[in-house]
């Protein structure tokens, strides 16, 4: 059952809002960011201490989302997107996700703390499962092991990176460098100091101080970034 409701200045519209369950570090970061971006958010948290911490900063309900009746009272089925930020307590995570699946929430994002946890959430119907620590660890490993300044794996190995240009590309256009032909990666854009970002074309010239945004398979990108 829902116990206490703390409404932020903007009342969320369920029809296009996001339901965020759990205000730990992961859930609170999502809820606060979405709220800051102007997205309608309703947060649900069972801990009175966390409810008190976040009260007045966003639309917030104190409730136990492992109880299907509490979700029904909140109108959870009317939200197109729900995020289950509860990860440390596997039983609660599974129960909450299962409840959201049962009431037919169209898009469910759930946090997992292990590969086994992720598989369980996927099997019971979560549409997107996130392993924040594993994803962050993989990303940081790529950053500390090479010349990459940022690293985003999109799907199935397809990745977008920010990097400094190898010496062999400096002073040449993309067409002259034949980056695509030689390395199998694509320069999406170039950011020069003091100049706006530009989308790259064959005539875009690369200088030593530029930042490149490059896409391709992770292994090919790492090989390209390893060039002196």
Query: In order of start, what are the domains of the chain with their CATH numbers?
Result: 4-130 (3.40.50.720), 136-225 (3.30.70.1450)
Q: What is the arithmetic mean of pLDDT over 65-77?
A: 94
Please say whether the beta carbons of 152 and 159 come within 8 A: yes
CA 125 to chain centre: 19
Q: What is the pLDDT of residue 4?
A: 45
Q: What is the pLDDT of residue 63?
A: 95
Residue 3 has pLDDT above 50, yes or no: no
d(CA 150, CA 222) in angstroms, rounded, equals 12
Q: What is the pLDDT of residue 8?
A: 41
129-134, Cβ contacts within 8 angstroms, sequence gap of 24 or more: 132/26, 132/87
d(CA 97, CA 126) in angstroms, rounded, equals 7
Q: What is the pLDDT of residue 32?
A: 92
Sign of CA dihedral 8, 13, 14, 18: negative
Higher pLDDT, 16 or 198: 198
Q: How confident is the model at residue 134 (pLDDT cuts 50, 70, 90)?
A: confident
Q: What is the pLDDT of residue 11?
A: 52
pTM for the full model?
0.67
Residue 13 has pLDDT above 90, yes or no: no
Task: Classify residue 7 as exposed, middle or buried by CB count within 10 Å of its CB (0-12, 13-18, 19+).
Answer: middle
Q: What is the pLDDT of residue 14?
A: 61
Q: What is the arithmetic mean of pLDDT over 156-169?
A: 90
Share of the chain above pLDDT 70, in %: 89
Q: What is the pLDDT of residue 5?
A: 47
- What does pLDDT average to over the chain? 88
β-strand partners of 21: 44, 84
d(CA 148, CA 222) in angstroms, rounded, equals 8
Higher pLDDT, 141 or 210: 210
Higher pLDDT, 35 or 133: 35
Q: What is the arithmetic mean of pLDDT over 214-224?
A: 90
The per-residue DSSP string of 183-212 comes to HS-EEEEEE-TTS--EE--TT-B--TT-EE
Q: 63-73: string of b/e by CB count within 10 Å (b at 16+)?
A: bbbbbbebbee
Residue 190 has pLDDT above 60, yes or no: yes
Please say whether the beta carbons of 174 and 200 come within 8 A: yes
Q: What is the CA radius of gyration of the chain?
A: 22
150-153, Cβ contacts within 8 angstroms, sequence gap of 24 or more: 153/218
Q: What is the pLDDT of residue 1?
A: 44
Q: What is the arithmetic mean of pLDDT over 37-57?
A: 92
Q: Which two tokens mark 100?
A: 């959201």
Q: What is the pLDDT of residue 170?
A: 96
Nearest alpha carbon to residue 169 among 117, 204, 130, 134:
204
């Amino acid at each position: 059952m829902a116990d206490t409701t703390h409404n932020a200045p903007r009342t969320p519209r369920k029809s296009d809002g996001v339901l965020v369950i759990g205000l730990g570090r992961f859930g609170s970061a999502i809820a606060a960011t979405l709220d800051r971006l102007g997205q309608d958010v309703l947060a649900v948290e069972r801990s009175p201490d966390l409810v008190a911490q976040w009260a007045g900063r966003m639309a917030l309900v104190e409730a136990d989302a492992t109880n299907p009746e509490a979700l029904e009272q909140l109108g959870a089925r009317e939200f197109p997107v729900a995020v289950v930020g509860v990860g440390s307590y596997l039983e609660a995570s599974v129960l909450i996700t299962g409840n959201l699946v049962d009431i037919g929430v169209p898009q469910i994002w759930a946090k997992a703390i292990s590969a086994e946890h992720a598989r369980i959430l996927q099997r019971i119907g979560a549409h997107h499962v996130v392993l924040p620590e594993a994803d962050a660890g993989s990303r940081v490993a790529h950053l500390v092991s090479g010349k990459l300044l940022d690293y985003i794996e999109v799907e199935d190995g397809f990745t977008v990176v920010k990097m400094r240009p190898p010496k062999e590309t400096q002073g040449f256009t993309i067409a002259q460098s034949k980056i695509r032909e030689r390395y199998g990666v694509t320069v999406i854009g170039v950011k020069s100091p003091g100049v706006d970002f530009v989308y790259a074309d064959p005539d875009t010239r690369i200088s030593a101080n530029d930042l490149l945004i490059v896409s391709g398979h992770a292994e090919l990108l790492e090989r390209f970034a390893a060039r002196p």
